[in-house]
Amino acid sequence: MKVACVGGGPASLYFSILMKRVDPSHEITVYERYPAGATYGWGVTYWEELFDYLHEVDPESARAIGESSVRWDSWVVHVQDRATVVVEHGDEGFGVGRRRMLDILAARATELGVRIEYEREITAETEFPDADLVVAADGINSVLRERDSGHYGTEVSVGRNMYMWLGTTKALDAFTFAFTETPHGWIWGYGYGYDPGHSTFIVECAPETWRGLELDTASEADGLAKLEKLFAEVLDGHPLLTRSEGGGSARWLNFRTLTNRRWYRGNVVLLGDAAHTTHYSIGAGTALALGDAAYLVDALHAEPDLERALARYERERRAAIRVSQRAARNSSRWYENVPRYIDLPPKQMVALLNERHSRLLPLLPPRLYYFLGRSAQNLSLLAARLIPGGRRPISE
């Protein structure tokens, strides 16, 4: 196949790698509108399950990503000066610099024969008249998708809370949450390391708190100074940073959840954030982008007819991400209702933070949900001891 990939992010690059591994005769070009290395963002997260999968399908790039990653297996939750709760989470998590990941994937793709053109802006699929397939992996503001948003059935819902994606020179050795009370309400940060000297630090709050703290009108320097003071305990004297290596200044945003009823038209197919977005609080964006790439490659090589292949990709991948999308919606709503949980005893609050993906949690009083969960856990442990040869939870 002759393939044009629009957008030089993880989804596009990994798709090109997997396509070449399956069949080196594919002719693939990736078009990226920014210069090489000019990426936005700080670090990205992924989890042990994804890491194992990457090793299976392309061990060379997985090895390089693993060697560049920071690892953790616990959470640390700071709740003002009330308590610091450490949670041994069980699943091993990883953080890696976004620029470093893109460099690794671009180098691997080039090694396999993929052509990458930087500083090349694409505005229409008609620029590729001889392409068998055009992959629109150009992000949430996809130009190719927006040219025909009516066909794709694009819908965007805007979250209530304000957030800002920052960095810091504080090297966090666990996935860290920090909740700080102000006279105008609660503000919180999520932080995780991604190289030995840097961490991502995302700050979020309700719009009333954002305005009350005058973060809506503060200059960049004044806003950072205010946030550094609010999160002084976690940052331990380290600064917050607004500019990543690739340039660009951080700004306050509302998260946009994007969905599409259709993921392809003719020989154009949507991939990654161009097809769907999920709230950052579940840490699944990179995993979903790489998963999209794998599903599309599988479909293209399982079905000789392009229409049938793209229909299969849309059908199977949409079903596969449904759980993650639901978890992301529930997680974002949990944070939009922080006051509902924050006054619980710290261990209970942290337990419900861990349960924020639940569909049932918003429907029950928080204390009731917590004690029901504890009771179910205790019953499962009791059953494992009393039922001969049985170690399965009683709910099974």
Asked whether 324 and 357 are in contact (CB, 8 A), the reply is no
**Closest CA relative to residue 186, chosen from 210, 168, 166, 163:** 210
pLDDT in the model for residue 373: 83
Pairing of strands 43-47, 256-259: unpaired
Lookup result for tokens 């790439």: 293
Is the confidence at residue 390, as pLDDT, over 90?
Answer: no
- Bridge partners (DSSP) of residue 256 are 158
How confident is the model over 36-79, as pLDDT tens digits? 877 777 999 998 888 899 999 999 999 999 999 999 989 999 99
Residues 110/133, Cβ–Cβ less than 8 Å: no
Quick: pLDDT tens for 181-238. Answer: 999 999 999 999 999 999 999 999 999 999 999 999 999 999 999 999 999 999 999 9
Burial of 199 (0-12, 13-18, 19+ CB in 10 A): buried
Q: H-type helices in 140-274, by residue range?
A: 143-146, 149-152, 207-212, 220-230, 232-235
d(Cα 342, Cα 91) in Å, to the nearest integer?
A: 25
Query: What is the phi/psi pair of residue 42, to 5°?
Result: -110, -105
| E strand or H helix at 25 | none
Q: Write down the residue that tokens 């809370």 correspond to.
A: 161
For 249-274, write each residue's pLDDT tens digit: 679 999 999 999 999 999 999 999 99
Classify strands 185-195 and 43-47 as parallel, antiparallel or unpaired: unpaired
Residue 64: Cβ within 10 Å count? 18
What was the pLDDT predicted at 37?
79
Output the CA–CA distances (angstroms, integers) from residue 393 to 34, 61, 163, 273, in the order listed.
52, 38, 39, 37
CA distances 327 to 128, 189, 236, 321, 387, Å, are 38, 19, 32, 10, 33
Tokens matching residue 344: 């619980």
* Mean pLDDT over each residue of the chain, to the nearest integer: 91
Q: Is 246 helix (H, G, I), strand (E, B) or coil?
A: coil
Q: Look at residue 393 in the predicted model and tell me its pLDDT.
A: 32
- Under a CB-based contact definition with an 8 Å cutoff, are residues 323 and 50 in contact? no
**Whole-prediction pTM:** 0.91
Q: What is the DSSP letter of 138?
A: -
- Residue 86's pLDDT band, with cuts at 50, 70 and 90, is confident
* Strand ranges for 240-358 from DSSP E: 240-241, 256-259, 264-265, 268-270
Instruction: Identify each DSSP E strand in 206-336 by its residue range.
Output: 240-241, 256-259, 264-265, 268-270
CA angle (90, 91, 94) in 5-degree steps? 135
Over residues 292-299, the mean pLDDT reads: 97
